[in-house]
Structure 1
Amino acid sequence: MTSNNGKLPIHKHIPHASRIVYGGMHLGGGWNKNPISKDDEIQAQDLLETALANGINTLDLADIYTFGKAEEVIGRVFKKAPHLIDKLIIQSKLGIKLTHDAKVKQYDLSASWAEKGLDAILKRLRIEKLDVLFLHRPDPLMEIESLATTLNKNYEHDKFEYLALSNMHAGQMAYIQSNVSMPVIANQLEMSLLASDFVEDAITVNMDINSQVGFPRGTIEYCLPQGIQLQAWASLAQGIFDPNHTNTEVTREIIDTRLLVGELAENYNTSPSAIVLAWLMRHPAMIQPVIGTTTPKRLVEAAEAGKILLSRDDWYHLLETRRGREVP
């Protein structure tokens, strides 16, 4: 069964955005202090070209990914292959501080850090303008007036095209939107067959169990009328539902779901990864999964998900198997 979703605009503001996002959080040689190698550059270019060849044109990064090396290795690729820049929608995030001058890990959405962070992102990527700038995490010490002034100034100076948020609820989104001059166009949250509280929030209304739901209540319902695109990080849940996954220290529900995913992959003539993503993408919010991988094969498999429309029976069967019980 083929989905029409792949033919519809995903973003209200970026209608040519791909249904799936490539996440480069492990690029540049990994989370270590090793310098970027030639092989790292070759790997990054291969992954970008594989993504584009399979209809994935949105690239997700952050200033902290592999301690800045992810952006830097992409910048080296762009220097060698500048034609790739215009083919990609490039988004990156700032707001988590892992620098040597920070005594503890912290979130920083101060005006000064936002200014420095955006300039550093552009320098590492070797570009003059970012397509989408994300604020990575809510900062309890954020002073919205000064932050908004800095964001508005950099927006007017054409350093980024769109503003987006990550890991924020409806109230936080509305608060930031009311203070900046540009529209907030996306929010990136953990959403998957494993992190399925976004569904639990909807189906356990008026039940005591709803108090245990971790997904920010009302976020989807806020985003849809506002034209805010939902993106899902950890959308494959590190492959935990793959029938070939080697982790055996999991719940009975996870094991049963793996078996069902394998069966559905055969029925739909696709990969287990595509089934897991198709479950997420079946939601009418048109969620954009972010696929963080350094394996081209996984990108090719992910792209297949955009061609699949799970039946209602199969969608609910996966949900109930994952829950370990019927829906209420």
Structure 2
Amino acid sequence: MTTNTGQSGGRLLYGCMGLGGSWTPDPYGAEDIAEAEAAVVAALEIGVTTFDHADIYRHGKSEAVFGEVLARAPGLRERIVVQTKCGIRLPDGVRPGIYDLRGPTIERRVEESLTRLRTDVIDILLLHRPDPLADPDDIVETLTSLHRQGLVRRFGVSNMSGEQIAPLAARLDVPLVSNQLEMSLGRRDWLEAGVLVNTGAAAANGFPLGTLEYCRAHGIELQAWGALAQGRFTGRQETPQERATAQRIASLAEEKGTTAEAVLLWWLMRHPARIAPVVGTANPDRIRACRDAARREPDLGHEEWYELWLAARGEPLP
């Protein structure tokens, strides 16, 4: 029986989307299990104990190879938090991909994830994307049932605004604990929304203003997927602006005796919302490069933080 409380409780999360081989239904192999094991070991070495999944990652193979890792490491399950998501259905033949948060679908996806992960409980279940046809009462009834059965300990959402979260939070007896959004120095609309108020650029931003504030006010952890900006500031710069930003990140890393990856994550974590970055690389060396973000308080001063924002922004603040 798994005994973990289900609280994420970590400064970083490890995102398992890169594990499991190809994005096809083809079976995974021994090399895919070995890759997953190496990534999990590297994450544990730097102090990461929350592992983020989704039922669709690699057509379920990300969960499956992780389950293989758990089966080979007795006692590991009790030391970690397992988080997964449901709500997206991948394309199937002529049918395009859709969103599906109907109660029976959620129940079926949870059962399938439990089987693949080889565990008896999911610590945190996130609703992956908003389903426009979803009935909040149906969702709440289903989540409540999963919780009462002991199949899921806690719940959260992903890619949702404060206005979308509120109807669920108002009906659920169990509080929502997290909202996972794409947030990085490369994806800054979440940050820009708050400073573009009363400017002509506000309408074009698109990020739902008030989402960060809603989550902070209601104790909902903000998790940042894509936190390393797909390597645009730590390896594969494509524009002069990205190169200039990467150079400043590198110089700060040298000054502070750390890595560029840690500085990039510190920039997110320095925000008062206490954002929890999700590190998604499958490369063990790059995972280890995030060590100081997992173990040290963000070592960025007020002006240094703004310097990186402005460098990535490429223009002055309004």
TM-score scaled by structure 1?
0.91
1:27–1:44: 8 Å Cα contact kept in structure 2? Answer: yes
**Secondary structure at the residue paired with 1:265?**
helix
What pairs with 1:197-212 in structure 2 (closer than 5 Å)?
197-212=189-204
RMSD of aligned residue pairs (Cα, Å): 1.6
Match of 1:297 in 2: 285
Deviation at 1:276, TM superposition (A): 0.9
User: In 1, distance between residues paired with 2:125 and 2:249?
Assistant: 35
Partner residue in 2 for 1:38: 30
1:141 to 128, 133, 136: 133
Q: Secondary structure at the match of 1:203?
A: coil
Q: C-alpha displacement at 1:177, in angstroms?
A: 1.2
Q: Is the 8 A contact 1:184 1:228 kept in 2?
A: yes
The equivalences for 1:143-222 within 5 A come to 143-222=135-214
Gaps of 5+ in 2: 1-5
Conserved in 1, the CA contact under 8 Å of 2:193 and 2:205? yes
* Conserved 8 A contact 1:57-1:89: yes
Identity %: 38
Residue in 1 that maps onto 2:71: 79
DSSP-derived class of the 2:18 partner: coil
Structure-1 separation of matches of 2:59 and 2:267: 32
Deviation of 1:180 after TM superposition, in Å, equals 2.2
Matched, 1:20 2:50: no
| 1:24-60 CA-partner distances (Å, limit 9, x unpaired) | 0011113233321112112212221221121100000
| Equivalent-residue separation in structure 1 for 2:188 and 2:199 (angstroms) | 17
1:211-237 CA distance string (max 9 Å, x none): 222322101111112110000000111
TM-score by length of 2: 0.94
* Structure 1: tracts of 5 or more residues without a match: 1-12
**Alignment size in residue pairs:** 311
| Matching residue of 2:299 | 309
The 10-residue stretch of structure 1 (317-326 or 92-101) with the greater mean CA deviation from structure 2: 92-101
One-letter code aligned to 1:82: P
Partner letter of residue 184 of structure 2?
A: S
2:181 aligned partner, one-letter code: L
The Cα offsets for residues 163-190 of structure 1, whole Å up to 9 and x where unpaired, read as 1000000111111112222111100001
In structure 2, C-alpha distance between the alignment counterparts of 1:146 and 1:102, rounded to whole Å: 28
**In 1, Cα distance between equivalents of 2:312 and 2:69:** 40
